[in-house]
Amino acid sequence: MKSDKIVIANWKMKLNLAQTVDLAKKIKTKFKNFNKGELAICPNFISLLEVGKILKDTNIALGAQDVFWEELGAYTGEISASMLVEAGCSYVIVGHSERRQFLMENYEMIHKEIKAVLAQEDLTPIVCIGENWEERKTDRRDFVLFDQLQQALSGLNIVGDQKIIIAYEPIWAIGSGTAIEPAEAEYAHKIIKLTLNDMFGMKTVDNNFKIIYGGSINSENVKGFTNLENMDGLLVGGASLDANEFYKVASAILK
């Protein structure tokens, strides 16, 4: 049976246009005969159209790194969900912790962004949640995850096959070089799953939600994440910036 897991590359603001195009081409070549699970790449905004052309006729989907909640209007610098669809995106990261940290995004904004994304038929939000080091150290993680999910998703009406991906990204693990212990990720994913079950019911959660992990995943530590419960895939930063490394990570998870 084909894996229903997903591996998503988040290239953040790490590459310019030429470097992005180069890496997208390398990834396209590397994954030429790869036909397992789902793959997506999220380059920066200015690269979306070019990367979209490269990924055309491949099994690799295009994603964006952010979205604004309004559709059209006087919102200088922003990009709407329908514009992302127009650019060929099937996924968009919403509320990444780096945006929460550097741009003061909060879950009220994230909630509006998710709503705008869900209004587009073929756009899936990748909603980022996760505790910081202080919260983990003081044993508040479960509450933080519960609270972030409530703020982000309360009151949303999930209809039909509309998909939502929850990315559990413990802030302290991102870019640190050390991923969380797999058992700890499994525990956090269970908390997320139970919270979602409570909010939307098990049937909807099984059908419409995926829970993925992000934070310092690489080809060495990925093996610990292959057989965890409630682990539907990965959101990969640094390790997705090299085609060979990304291939190793993706092929370990997507079988």
Tell me the catalytic residues: 96, 169
Ramachandran sector of residue 34 (left: φ over 0; alpha: ψ -120 to 50; beta: rest): beta
Closest CA to 124 of 98, 95, 85, 68: 85
Site for ligand 13P contains 175 (CB under 6 A): yes
Total chain residues near ligand 13P (CB under 6 A):
14
In the region spanning residues 78 to 107, those forming contacts with ligand 13P, defined by CB under 6 A, are 96
Site for ligand 13P contains 65 (CB under 6 A): no
Close Cβ partners of 184 (under 8 Å, ≥ 6 residues apart): none
In the region spanning residues 9 to 38, those forming contacts with ligand 13P, defined by CB under 6 A, are 10
Looking at the Cβ atoms of 37 and 215, the one nearer to ligand 13P is: 215
Helix, strand, coil content of the chain in percent (nearest 5) = 45, 15, 40
Residue nearest to ligand 13P (CB): 237
| Smallest gap from residue 96 Cβ to ligand 13P (A) | 6
CA separation for the pair 30, 54 (Å, rounded): 13
**DSSP label at residue 131:** -
CA distance between the termini of the chain = 9
Site for ligand 13P contains 221 (CB under 6 A): no
Looking at the Cβ atoms of 95 and 200, the one nearer to ligand 13P is: 95
AA letter at 53: K
| Smallest gap from residue 237 Cβ to ligand 13P (A) | 2
Looking at the Cβ atoms of 158 and 192, the one nearer to ligand 13P is: 192
Looking at the Cβ atoms of 158 and 212, the one nearer to ligand 13P is: 212
CB contact at 8 A, 27 and 62? no
Q: Considering only residues 235, 243, 250, 252, which one is a binding residue for ligand 13P as defined by CB under 6 A?
A: 235
Is residue 50 within a helix (H) or strand (E), and if so which, with residue range?
Answer: helix 48-55
CB contact at 8 A, 126 and 95? no
| Smallest gap from residue 177 Cβ to ligand 13P (A) | 8
Looking at the Cβ atoms of 158 and 222, the one nearer to ligand 13P is: 222
Q: Which residues are at the interface with ligand 13P (CB under 6 A)?
A: 10, 96, 169, 174-175, 214-217, 235-239
